[in-house]
Structure 1
Amino acid sequence: MEENRWQSVVDNLKEGDYVFIQFGHNDEVPTKKSYTTEADFQANLIRFITETRAKKATPVLITPVARRKFDDAGKIEGTHPVYSELVRNVAANQNTLLIDLDTQSQQLLQQFGVENSKLLFLQLAPGEHPNYPAGKEDNTHFSELGARRMAEIVLANIKSLKLDLADRIVTPETAK
């Protein structure tokens, strides 16, 4: 909002467009510049929904995607419980479509397990990548595989929500 990025989205919206709204990762961290209080976070989501609908476009709320965090017993731990719940509540109160990416990405991480889930994130050994000569252990940002798996979750939800958009998504094998 402060960087005025939302306004350019609204200004370019057309009837029939979809707006996928996903925030929370940085908004919930009090030490980050982008920290947003719970009340402001909800107000912003409602504003995005209202302004999207005013342009006859369809808003879709998405909970924050899970970070890779397991307890000592190997059980995935939620890292966005408060802000994910805020998104769910706003979706319910505003009768807005919801993709619960937090829950579904946690399920995926649990399926992969403690060690294999590292494949989904930016986990690099020293010398493995020129941008990270000392290596990198990042449990927030995805590898290409992780990004693709999260995108697959969103795509599955687009289809299960029966959005018209689903009919326009093709795989390379069916693209003409």
Structure 2
Amino acid sequence: MTRRPTLFLAGDSTAAQKDMSAAPETGWGMALPFFLSAEVEVVNHAMNGRSSRSFIEEGRLDVVLGAIRPGDRLLIQYGHNDQSDRPERHTEPWAGYQECLSRHVKGARDRGAHPVLLTPVERRAFDAGGRAVSTHGEYPDAMRAVAAQENVPLVEVSALSLARWQQLGPEATKECFLWVGETRDNTHFRPRGAIEVARLVARGLADAGALPGAWLGDPDASVADDRIVWPRVAPDPLGAAAL
């Protein structure tokens, strides 16, 4: 039996699969299949609260590398939790962060798969003049350096999302993030935001030549929010709580 083309995703809560208890919170990885060929399988290992370091130390990268096969793609997006001051998550951008990204890259390549680095999607943040501002410090530049050194395709999700939030402005971006009821969450998405970011990722993958043409769908496809589906329980390959 021929195995379907498979795209693995390693990252944090901004990309992760959510279950019904988290709705309407939506990771952009949940929307990515709408912009790919129906023949492509997306295996989303991104997990809430994980950094490039904790993803490795918990054995999550080992699970991905145990399943990945020659010709598969591994999308790698971290940064939000690497910024955390929690010691089990934190990495320095020009040291541990780069080392962990390189381990992901090497692990994929050692198995004949193709790694792709994605700079972290931007939070919703605007200055007093209504200009969208970056919140990721030196992490995107550190990832860009790894991509150049390792000759890995890079999708500029940080720059693309910052430009999109600027285009939408402070008010309209509330429809993309978890501004629901009393919640004012400028990091995580509801369906509209996840779809927006997934569209940017798909376009970026195409522009970077990171996927075969047959894997690509229509990046301009209209996707209604109600097409997002939350399973009753989001599976965790390690059986651990998504903290």
Aligned ranges for residues 43-122 of structure 1 at < 5 Å?
43-122=99-178
Aligned ranges for residues 21-36 of structure 1 at < 5 Å?
21-31=76-86, 33-36=88-91
- Of 176, 199, 203, which aligns to 1:152? 199
Native 8 Å contact 2:82 2:91 kept in 1 = yes
CA–CA distance in structure 2, aligned partners of residues 150 and 26 of structure 1: 18
CA–CA distance in structure 1, aligned partners of residues 139 and 81 of structure 2: 10
CA–CA distance in structure 2, aligned partners of residues 68 and 33 of structure 1: 25
* 2:202 partner SS: helix
* 1:81 partner SS: coil
CA–CA distance in structure 1, aligned partners of residues 79 and 217 of structure 2: 29
Q: 1:13, CA displacement in angstroms?
A: 1.4
Q: Return closer, same or farther for 1:162/1:28 CA change in 2, 3 Å cut-off.
A: same
The count of corresponding residues between Structure 1 and Structure 2 is: 164
Question: With structure 2 as the length reference, what TM-score do the two structures score?
Answer: 0.64
CA–CA distance in structure 2, aligned partners of residues 166 and 155 of structure 1: 12
Q: 1:97, CA displacement in angstroms?
A: 0.4
Flag the structure with more relative contact order, 1 or 2, with Cα contacts below 8 A and sequence separation at least 6.
Answer: 2
CA distances 1:19-67 after superposition (whole Å, capped 9, x unpaired): 0000111111224641123311110111111111111110000011000
CA distances 1:47-106 after superposition (whole Å, capped 9, x unpaired): 111111111110000011000010000011110131111111110111110001011100
CA–CA distance in structure 1, aligned partners of residues 205 and 145 of structure 2: 20
Return the structure number with greater helix share.
Answer: 1
The match for 1:137 is 184
CA–CA distance in structure 1, aligned partners of residues 96 and 179 of structure 2: 34
Report sequence identity in percent: 34
Question: Based on CA coordinates, which of the two structures has the bigger radius of gyration?
Answer: 1
**What letter corresponds to residue 70 of structure 2 in structure 1?**
E
CA distances 1:115-171 after superposition (whole Å, capped 9, x unpaired): 11111100012xxxxxxxxx2000000110000000000111122223444422446
* 1:27 partner SS: coil
* 2:138 partner SS: helix
Native 8 Å contact 2:116 2:210 kept in 1 = no
Native 8 Å contact 1:158 1:165 kept in 2 = no
Deviates more, 1:143-152 or 1:30-39: 30-39
Does 2:87 correspond to 1:40?
Answer: no
CA–CA distance in structure 2, aligned partners of residues 31 and 48 of structure 1: 22
CA–CA distance in structure 2, aligned partners of residues 164 and 117 of structure 1: 29
Question: With structure 1 as the length reference, what TM-score do the two structures score?
Answer: 0.87
Structure 1 unaligned segments of length 5 or more: list them. Answer: 126-134
- Aligned Cα root-mean-square deviation (Å): 1.7
CA–CA distance in structure 1, aligned partners of residues 74 and 143 of structure 2: 15
Q: 1:12, CA displacement in angstroms?
A: 1.2
